[in-house]
């Protein structure tokens, strides 16, 4: 009975396909088109000529957005319901997956510099999922006159190292290299999840505040890319928004509802096939994208119902474990190019995305917390931070308990006073010796004369 009930609650990961328009380069080279999208039928057809024969393959997805689909269309049809669920207290994740240059960043961010809200309160047409979600969240919260708090984190994962894109320090090569050595570690949070130790959590009060943080984070990402010779197509970025909303029960009890939205721009998917083909050499060159490979393995293990799911094998899958087979609602946006030049990668993206449709999650609304419980949790968090601070002191300097510090400090002061007294005594004694010597000189001179 309970297993049937469990099955009823299982929800498949939603998978959308977006095909971008031809780029200027592809148009100039008259690249033949091999992809045809039928948005209404939710189908994508791939035409290939193998040994003179035309072979068509058709894939069906939960939604299909062809080259003429606008940012607004994708957002309204696919993301608005997801953000509403976050506001209802669910955790939701949206991944962008696809070959480099197929529009993952365009879909997730759009052009961030142009994504600011204009004077009329509207976003520009090229704004992507992140700015639109931010706007929807604040518009809803403000229209509900709700008491709420919103906090965001923004991190980059490159070569299994986590960089905080919201950390405040100045961006110089030295600072960045120093940071590369001291990567933020992942820790179990004791509730079955993980947390990134030391990650900045920014409390924000308006959409425009988030836009400037995003801009700062993206700038930091680009600067690091140039200074450290990184390749952006090999890094993953994770932008998370956590919302707490206060509600009152009819009995007047205060409850806190919590929802979280994760927006993930993955590394270019061609990195998996390439690193897979030349795994040994790629690993040496630091080219292998362990997180992307493990993501693929986790998906395989989930859809083939293998006993062991290798979440712990990479940081990306540890961070997003709950989004893959867990209690989070998940959506994957797979991006492809229409051109023949990308055919091989396009087919691999389509196969991968199609397989991911079989992953089942069991979304559960987060339990509302009593305000007093939340405060208790926050005290717990403060204790944890204090312990971390102590640990940091221990590592970076000499840490001694306060009592011992006070005792040693008063001993040090007493000693300094004694030294001062002795210096005065020494000076007086020296003066007396000099006086005596002078007197002796006088006496012997007068005796001689």
Is 232 one of the binding residues for ligand ATP (CB under 6 A)? yes
417 by Cβ neighbours in 10 Å (0-12 / 13-18 / 19+) ranks as: exposed
Among 66, 103, 217, 296, binds ligand ATP (CB under 6 A): 103
Shortest gap between Cβ of 126 and ligand ATP (angstroms)? 8
Is 236 one of the binding residues for ligand ATP (CB under 6 A)? no
Q: What one-character DSSP code corresponds to residue 261? A: E
For 11, 88, 331, the CA distances from 85, given in Å and listed in that order, are: 14, 5, 13
Is 21 one of the binding residues for ligand ATP (CB under 6 A)? yes
Considering beta carbons, is residue 93 or 271 the nearer one to ligand ATP? Answer: 271
Contacts of 169 (CB under 8 A, 6+ apart): 175, 179
Q: Confirm if 67 and 107 have CB atoms less than 8 A apart.
A: no
Query: Could you tell me which of 367, 339, 360, 336 has the C-alpha nearest to residue 350?
Result: 336
Query: Alpha-carbon distance 153 to 448, whole Å?
Result: 94
Point out which span in 3-11, 49-57, 93-101, 436-444 binds ligand ATP (CB under 6 A): 93-101
Considering beta carbons, is residue 14 or 100 the nearer one to ligand ATP? Answer: 100
Query: Alpha-carbon distance 188 to 108, whole Å?
Result: 28
SS3 helix, strand, coil % of the chain, rounded to 5? 50, 25, 30
Ligand-binding annotation for 373, yes or no, is no
Query: Alpha-carbon distance 221 to 68, whole Å?
Result: 30
Number of residues engaging ligand ATP in binding (CB under 6 A): 15
Shortest gap between Cβ of 109 and ligand ATP (angstroms)? 8
Query: Alpha-carbon distance 159 to 315, whole Å?
Result: 10
Point out which span in 15-23, 172-180, 351-359, 389-397 binds ligand ATP (CB under 6 A): 15-23
Ligand-binding annotation for 360, yes or no, is no
Contacts of 66 (CB under 8 A, 6+ apart): 19, 37, 38, 39
Shortest gap between Cβ of 106 and ligand ATP (angstroms)? 3
Instruction: Give the three-state DSSP class for 23.
Output: coil
Among 33, 140, 149, 233, binds ligand ATP (CB under 6 A): 233
Residues 304 to 363: which contact ligand ATP by CB under 6 A?
A: 335
CB neighbourhood size of 20 (10 A): 23
Residues 22 to 51: which contact ligand ATP by CB under 6 A?
A: 23
Shortest gap between Cβ of 113 and ligand ATP (angstroms)? 13
Considering beta carbons, is residue 23 or 47 the nearer one to ligand ATP? Answer: 23
Considering beta carbons, is residue 100 or 361 the nearer one to ligand ATP? Answer: 100
Residues 104 to 143: which contact ligand ATP by CB under 6 A?
A: 104-106
Considering beta carbons, is residue 59 or 65 the nearer one to ligand ATP? Answer: 65
Among 15, 17, 20, 323, binds ligand ATP (CB under 6 A): 20
Ligand-binding annotation for 89, yes or no, is no
Contacts of 74 (CB under 8 A, 6+ apart): 16, 18, 65, 107, 129, 333
Ligand-binding annotation for 66, yes or no, is no
Ligand-binding annotation for 103, yes or no, is yes
Query: Could you tell me which of 115, 142, 295 has the C-alpha nearest to residue 211?
Result: 115
Ligand-binding annotation for 102, yes or no, is yes
Task: Return the CA Rg of the chain.
Answer: 31
Quote the Cα angle for 102-105-109, to 5°. 145
Shortest gap between Cβ of 334 and ligand ATP (angstroms)? 11
For 135, 164, 169, 292, the CA distances from 410, given in Å and listed in that order, are: 58, 42, 37, 58
Ligand-binding annotation for 98, yes or no, is yes
Ligand-binding annotation for 193, yes or no, is no
CA 150 to chain CA centroid, nearest Å: 16
Residues 242 to 281: which contact ligand ATP by CB under 6 A?
A: 268
Q: Confirm if 128 and 136 have CB atoms less than 8 A apart.
A: no
Q: Confirm if 335 and 35 have CB atoms less than 8 A apart.
A: no
Is 291 one of the binding residues for ligand ATP (CB under 6 A)? no
Among 100, 153, 275, 289, binds ligand ATP (CB under 6 A): 100
Instruction: Give the three-state DSSP class for 443.
Output: helix
- Helix (H) and strand (E) counts for the chain? 15, 17
Considering beta carbons, is residue 89 or 338 the nearer one to ligand ATP? Answer: 338
Point out which span in 96-104, 167-175, 340-348, 411-419 binds ligand ATP (CB under 6 A): 96-104
| Residue where the block lists tokens 């990184």 | 230
Considering beta carbons, is residue 269 or 328 the nearer one to ligand ATP? Answer: 269
Residues 408 to 427: which contact ligand ATP by CB under 6 A?
A: none
Considering beta carbons, is residue 106 or 276 the nearer one to ligand ATP? Answer: 106
Point out which span in 100-108, 114-122, 159-167, 312-320 binds ligand ATP (CB under 6 A): 100-108
Which amino acids are annotated as binding site, given as ranges?
98-105
Binding residues for ATP: 98-105
The residues binding ligand ATP (CB under 6 A) are: 20-21, 23, 98, 100-106, 232-233, 268, 335
């Amino acid at each position: 009975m309970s297993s049937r009930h469990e099955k009823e609650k299982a929800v498949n990961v939603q998978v959308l396909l977006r095909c971008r328009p031809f780029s200027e380069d592809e148009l100039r080279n008259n690249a033949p088109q091999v992809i045809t999208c039928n948005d209404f039928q939710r189908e994508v057809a791939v035409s290939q000529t193998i040994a003179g024969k035309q072979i068509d393959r058709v894939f069906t997805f939960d939604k299909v957005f062809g080259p003429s689909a606008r940012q607004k269309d994708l957002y309204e049809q696919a993301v608005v319901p997801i953000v509403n669920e976050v506001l209802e207290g669910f955790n939701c994740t949206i991944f962008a997956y696809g070959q480099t240059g197929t529009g993952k960043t365009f879909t997730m961010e759009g052009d961030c510099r142009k994504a600011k809200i204009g004077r009329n309160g509207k976003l520009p047409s090229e704004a992507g999922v992140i700015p639109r979600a931010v706007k929807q969240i604040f518009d809803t919260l403000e229209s509900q006159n709700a008491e709420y708090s919103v906090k965001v984190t923004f991190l980059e994962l490159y070569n299994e190292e986590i960089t905080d894109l919201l950390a405040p320090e100045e961006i110089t090569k030295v600072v960045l290299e120093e940071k590369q050595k001291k990567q933020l570690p992942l820790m179990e949070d004791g509730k079955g999840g993980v947390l990134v130790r030391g990650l900045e959590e920014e409390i924000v009060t308006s959409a425009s505040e988030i836009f400037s943080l995003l801009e700062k984070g993206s700038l930091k990402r680009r600067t690091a890319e140039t200074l450290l010779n990184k390749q952006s197509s090999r890094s993953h970025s994770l932008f998370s928004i956590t919302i707490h909303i206060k509600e009152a029960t009819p009995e007047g009890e205060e409850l806190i509802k919590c929802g979280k939205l994760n927006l993930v721009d993955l590394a270019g998917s061609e990195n998996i096939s390439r690193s897979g083909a030349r795994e040994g050499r790629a690993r040496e060159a630091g080219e292998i994208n362990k997180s992307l490979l493990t993501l693929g393995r986790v998906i395989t293990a989930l859809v083939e119902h293998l006993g062991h799911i290798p979440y712990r094998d990479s940081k990306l899958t540890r961070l997003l474990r709950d989004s893959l087979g867990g209690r989070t609602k998940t959506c994957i946006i797979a991006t492809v190019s229409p051109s023949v030049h990308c055919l091989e990668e396009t087919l691999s993206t389509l196969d991968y995305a199609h397989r991911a449709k079989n992953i089942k999650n069991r979304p559960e609304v987060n339990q509302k917390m009593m305000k007093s419980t939340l405060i208790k949790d926050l005290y717990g968090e403060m204790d944890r931070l204090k312990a971390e601070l102590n640990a940091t002191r221990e590592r970076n300097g000499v840490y001694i308990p306060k009592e011992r510090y006070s005792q040693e400090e008063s001993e040090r002061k007493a000693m300094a006073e004694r030294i001062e007294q002795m210096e005065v005594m020494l000076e007086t004694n020296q003066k007396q010796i000099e006086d005596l010597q002078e007197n002796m000189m006088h006496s012997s001179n007068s005796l001689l004369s």
